Amino acid sequence: MCRMRKSVAAALTFSAYSLTAQSNAPTPTFSRTFDHVAIRYLSTQVSASLVGRAEWGFSAVVEADEVRLLFDTGLAPDTVTANAMALHVDLRGLHGIVISHWHRDHTGGVRAVLAAMGASPDRPARIYVHPAIFDAKLQRDAPDRQVNALRENRSAIQQAGGSFQLSAAPREIAPGMVLTGSVPRVDPDDQKLPVDFLSADTRARDTVPDEQSLVVNTRDGLIVLTGCGHAGIVNTVQYVKQLFPARSIYAVVGGFHWFASSETDISRAGDRLKTLGVSRVVGAHCTLVEPMFILRQHGWSRDAAVVGAIGSDFQQGRSAQSAPAEERIVAMASAPSSPLAADIPAPSCHLPR
């Protein structure tokens, strides 16, 4: 198993203008507390449903009482829309789209989702992004090749009805929902940076400065939803605690980029999350399955460390589907025709091209 190389220098240069924006922005407050939150996965590595298509990507619908947002849009153009149809998730009426960062496995389905939402230039849908998401990126082994598809497709997405809402600072995008904006990399070793991409400006390793997470305010505490955790899941939770010191962290859900991490690194991160008061950890996408079982071997209960999968919704309070879904995941892992085995590439230290 390959390991991510440490990059202290990269951490120091991750985004100077983002830090400036943070320091000048007022700390957001929550104007609402939700009674019930469900997170429905539409793109991730594993499927607990025979009708769900797994892929190396991430997307989830966040349903907080009557508010509905889409977080990321998966890798293949039609995965999110196809899974939404198969799982009877209506994409019409979404209140907006959040994109966590520029990588293709989070942005591939934007235009298909806009069409499913019924968006148009006359009826645009808001897409909440960090301004650095449009920066030019290069392939390390082909440094003349610009690989940020979102940058290239920005105009086409706008013509399809996408209205980009840009901010590097934390902001409340809907009552009770806050985007972190830039996440400070207090611990550079906690970062999970892909090795294949360079910043076009510096020709140095890309630090994914545009990564942001969604924070949902519930009666049980905060839910933090991450796309990949490139900034570091502990760094992210520490920053959320800094923004909202009076609120507990009920759950951290999403991709943590632990697929290439050692057991020692995973258990250490789990200990730090416990110290920060995190009650539940639900790993999906680039977390894969094994790290969640490593957490259970290091003091986390089965209810507290859970695998996120298509067809198994996260619920505020333990989902009744959680245990049966994990049993199906384990059973399907050895079945070559299963949704789990069908579309998942072998883990590596880079994103699939």
Q: Please, where are the H alpha helices in the chain?
A: 8-12, 16-24, 79-86, 104-107, 110-117, 149-152, 154-159, 233-243, 263-275, 290-297, 322-332, 339-342
Q: Give the separation between CA 204 and CA 2, rounded to whole angstroms.
A: 21
Task: Answer yes or no: is 231 within a domain.
Answer: yes
Determine contact, residues 172/155, Cβ cutoff 8 Å.
Answer: no
Give the domain range for residue 78. 8-342
283-329: pLDDT as tens digits: 999 999 999 999 999 999 999 999 999 999 999 854 434 445 554 44
pLDDT on residue 23: 53
- Ranges of the chain with pLDDT below 70: 1-25, 317-353
Task: Answer yes or no: is 261 within a domain.
Answer: yes
Greatest extent of the chain over all pairs of C-alpha atoms, in Å? 53
Task: Answer yes or no: is 352 within a domain.
Answer: no
Total of domains in the chain: 1
Task: Answer yes or no: is 227 within a domain.
Answer: yes
Task: Answer yes or no: is 349 within a domain.
Answer: no
- Half-sphere exposure in the Cβ direction for 238 (13 Å, CA): 15
Task: Answer yes or no: is 1 within a domain.
Answer: no
Beta bridge partners of 309: 312
Q: Give the separation between CA 161 and CA 159, rounded to whole angstroms.
A: 5
Task: Answer yes or no: is 350 within a domain.
Answer: no
Q: Is the dihedral of CA 152, 158, 160, 162 positive or negative?
A: positive
Select from 185, 157, 160, 180 the least CA-distant residue to 170.
180
Task: Answer yes or no: is 281 within a domain.
Answer: yes
pLDDT on residue 2: 41
CATH of the domain at 104: 3.60.15.10
Select from 178, 202, 190 the least CA-distant residue to 27.
178
pTM of the model: 0.87
SS3 label, residue 320 = coil
Determine contact, residues 192/11, Cβ cutoff 8 Å.
Answer: no
DSSP string for residues in 132-188: GGGS-EEETTEEEEE--HHHHTHHHHHHTTEEEEE-SS-EEEETTEEE--SPP-SSG
pLDDT on residue 7: 41
Kindly give the pairing relationship between strand 137-139 and strand 197-199: antiparallel
191-244: pLDDT as tens digits: 999 999 999 999 999 999 999 999 999 999 999 999 999 999 999 999 999 999
Q: Give the separation between CA 348 and CA 352, rounded to whole angstroms.
A: 9
